[in-house]
Structure 1
Amino acid sequence: MVFSFFHNKLIRKKFIIFLIFIAPAMIFYFIELYCILDAILMSFHRWTVLSPPQYVGLKNFIKLLNDEYVHNAAVNTLKWMVVSLIASVTVPILIALLLNCKLRGETLYKVVFILPQALSGVAVGVAWTWMFSPGFGVINETLRALGLKFLIRSWIGDPSTALYACVAGSIWVSTGFYTMIYLTRLRDIPQDLLEAARVDGASPWQVFIYVTLPLMREAFAIVTTLTILSSFKAFDIVLTMTRGGPQHASEVLGLRIYIEGFELFRMGYASTISTALLLLSLVFVILYLRLILRRR
């Protein structure tokens, strides 16, 4: 049977084309899998690059539980995730609802919203650093023009706002992509369901709450999962804008891993934090997906 399958010239040709296209993805997958497994293995070792790895068992994990810098970075990462989740559920859905009204120039709006996705994290970090500049930044200049001088501050130099300034750049990048996800789902909703609700006397608000939102559950699940994962891997924007400062106020786990591995050269301990971050992200995603699937 297998021989007859490959004996067909057309099927054999399609199978070869399939292998050609999937091969790069599979190579990347196995390289990534190897790196993950190697990091997990290295988390049980003390390795300072200059000396060979030394097996230490769970000592790195015990150290992790008592490390104030890691605790601070974990709290900042959770703050990042919460703010990002709130923004990803509200701002993109509002923009998607506006675009769903078939506005003029809709294609142009889509391009404008999705453009930030093409930028690197470093470019985004530099742009938002300029925008938050206390001397000539757009944010402070806008506040000054509106007569809100009491709100002017050094956004990335203030420990109370530095983290949220970095989150703002991340939200700006992802908003367009999430908007497209919501818009696609909105346009997949059968119009007869919406019309039936209106005929039954439902107000636009009731149609949105009781008909539209329940039918967008899958879109919310996708966006929430992506937001959780992107929050846990936040790194380049923070590195560019604040380098974790001031006073570690904006330091997240991704940046802490970088500092431990490439500035302090404690590769074993950096791998331990990476492993803990991997487990933490898996727990959050699995719990959320189980919650969503249970409600279906």
Structure 2
Amino acid sequence: MANFGGHAIPGTFFLLYGLWLTVKHTLRHNWRKNQPKGRHKIPPVFNRMDYFEGGLTIFAAFVGIMVEQFVVDGPHAHLYDQGNHTWVKLMNWQHSTMYLFFGISGSACVLTTASSSVPVGVDRLALSLALFVEGFLFYYHVHHRPALDAHIHTLLLVAVFGGSGSSMLEVFVRDHIILELFRACLLVLQGSWFYQIGFVLYPLSGPEWDLTLHDNIMFVTMCFCWHFAMAMLTVAVTSFLVGIMSKRCAEKGRNIEIGMRTTSSNSNSQKALLDESDEE
């Protein structure tokens, strides 16, 4: 949608998606570190997290498509107007296509988790293709637009294609925490930048931006670097806090297990003494 809400919806999706991946991959990394060598069986909780992620991605993609198609001024599933011989709301159709591929990515995530016959890495491949299609659409989305409008969307492509390349690399390099957190960081950056695009092109209050002023282009470029720094800081802090919490939970679980073993051992010793006493 050509309004602030049309940028806030995908922005919220990518922000939450990036934070979710940060939490999930940090937990899995901490679990892998604490496992003895040769153990590869994934606990059911991680499978449930993958099901949740895939299902939520499919749902969000479906909602995005419905909003783009059936909003008041949307195309309502009409691509071509036979009467006027014109295309109908191609911008909404482009956004719908973007959501479609993220729905495919969510489906791949669910299938990879549910069936061992699906090759490992298909989920990452599908996500990489979804991000590539998003960047491909946006590249041709801004032609013949004012300079600032075209530039602010072009900066978005840095995060989009970077995330696509990182996800493709994960197809071949699995369970690499740096790549996983880098992908999450680029998704957070993408989400915050969608909001920035909305504020620049469709300000909620105050004067409108001059879309031809070169100083505004310089500021927006610098602002993108600030968003990148904040995305890295957000992912780092979130990963650090999740690591501390998972470590404390693991230590608490071990203490409980040790306490139960100690209690069981004392009970067995007492039973043995009673048996010896009865025999005497």
- Whether the TM-score (by the shorter chain) exceeds 0.5 is no
TM range (shorter): under 0.3
Q: TM-score, normalised by structure 2?
A: 0.27
Q: TM-score, normalised by structure 1?
A: 0.26
Structure of greater Rg:
2
